[in-house]
Amino acid sequence: MPHAARPTVTLHDVAAAAGVSVSTASRVLGGSSRTVAPEYQERVLAAAATLRYTADASARAMRRASDSITLIVDDLTTPSIGMVVAAMEREARTAGAFVTVSSTGGTPDRQLETVRRLRALRPRAIVLTSSRLDADLVGGRLLGELRAYERDGGRVVIVGDTDMPFDSISFDNHAAARALGAYVAETGHREVVILAGDVARANVTTRATGFIEGLRAGGVAPDSIRVVHCEVSRRGGSEAIRGSLGGFTDVDAVLAANDLIAVGAMSALRAAGVSVPADVSVTGFDDIQLAVDVMPRLTTVALPLADAGAEAIRLAVREGTEPAHLTMSGHLVVRDSALPRTRPR
């Protein structure tokens, strides 16, 4: 064997076994537009099956366009990513493409390295998911790499907020957060804590400002809104609540930047003897599976994750050339964790 992972049975072998030329075999197996005689066709197919022939994608890629799409994500364990990937795979199948995923851990360095590495594979498209992708990341080298990929005929799609000049799909976090804030205000809440997450995660902080706008518009006094930063996780929500329990005597709503944070907050509140939603309302954001599994079920904002995934693939395989920027809006999902309240003034 010449070296690992090189085919031992090639098109040549199939052609020989079928007693036809390599060209004919290629035409049968490669789905050419040219017709070949039925009997030849049959012989080639039979030979390929018995030899378990698989066309070498590398060699094939040298002559025709690739059909693989690579997805780059920060972290595979994010609850929402699963749905996006599933939708992408479904959509890709209808387009005859194939999705493959790489994770970077979210650090710009590894994002760059991953793009470089994947670019060598000459996929049909690269889809990047990240909370925020800035053009000047890693000294602009990520942008440069992506541009070079595009120059070579590749297609870049970004799912998330970005200022890069590629196709992008983003969620209108601000508007959705504003709507949630307004809803909370309208349902009579007047003393609110916002669990704003980490300042480094841009989409999360956008939500915090949206919350504030909605609350203010709904009549909540600026002084009655407290913003607490925390880790973006279940634990972060718990700790934030535990850490500021002292000042919570009059709070009637907790708005978390994220379902995970909200769930953590709920459990900490319950542990402290505060009833949700009877004493305090809690809301989340994202509508992950957990949101309907917990008790009480979480009032939150649903993001059209599956739609975004499918749309990303559609952008990735389309022919058009000018960059498209799509914004998808979330919608309020009212469940049990937030209760309208009328309180004495």
Partner DNA sequence: AATGTGTTGGAATGCGTTTTCCCACGAAGG
Partner DNA sequence: CCTTCGTGGGAAAACGCATTCCAACACATT
Closer Cβ to its own copies, 212 or 274, answer by number: 274
CB 215, CB 251: distance < 8 Å = no
193's CB contacts (< 8 A; 6+ apart) are 226, 227, 228, 244, 248, 251, 253, 254, 255
Interacting span for DNA (CB under 7 A) from 1-9, 153-161, 196-204, 296-304: 1-9
| 56 interacts with DNA by CB under 7 A | yes
In whole angstroms, what is the distance from residue 229 CA to residue 236 CA?
A: 9
Question: Of residues 117, 325, 331, 343, which one binds its own copies by CB under 8 A?
Answer: 117
Nearest distance in Å: CB 329, its own copies: 24
Closer Cβ to its own copies, 37 or 57, answer by number: 57
Closer Cβ to DNA, 55 or 175, answer by number: 55
Tell me which residue has tokens 């004919």.
Answer: 24
In whole angstroms, what is the distance from residue 247 CA to residue 249 CA?
A: 6
Interacting span for its own copies (CB under 8 A) from 21-29, 56-64, 172-180, 218-226: 56-64
Interacting span for its own copies (CB under 8 A) from 60-68, 132-140, 171-179, 250-258: 60-68
What does the block give as tokens for 92?
A: 């890709």
| 44 interacts with its own copies by CB under 8 A | no
Q: For the segment 309-338, give every residue that binds its own copies (CB under 8 A).
A: none
Interacting span for its own copies (CB under 8 A) from 16-24, 55-63, 297-305, 328-336: 55-63
* Binding flags for its own copies, 240-279, as an x/- string (CB under 8 A): ------------------------x--x---x--------
In whole angstroms, what is the distance from residue 28 CA to residue 35 CA?
A: 8
In whole angstroms, what is the distance from residue 260 CA to residue 197 CA?
A: 10
DSSP annotation of 298 reads P
In whole angstroms, what is the distance from residue 16 CA to residue 47 CA?
A: 9
Closer Cβ to DNA, 59 or 200, answer by number: 59
> Which conformational region is residue 153 in: left (phi greater than 0), alpha (psi within -120 to 50 degrees), or beta?
left
92's CB contacts (< 8 A; 6+ apart) are 69, 98, 99, 313, 317
Indicate which of DNA, its own copies, none lies near residue 304 (CB less than 5 to 8 Å, by partner kind): none
> Which conformational region is residue 132 in: left (phi greater than 0), alpha (psi within -120 to 50 degrees), or beta?
beta
Q: For the segment 13-52, give every residue that binds DNA (CB under 7 A).
A: 20-24, 26-27, 29-30, 32, 34-37, 40
Indicate which of its own copies, DNA, none lies near residue 20 (CB less than 5 to 8 Å, by partner kind): DNA
| 4 interacts with its own copies by CB under 8 A | yes
Which residues of the chain form contacts with DNA (CB under 7 A)? Answer: 2, 6-7, 10-12, 20-24, 26-27, 29-30, 32, 34-37, 40, 53, 55-56, 59-60, 62-64
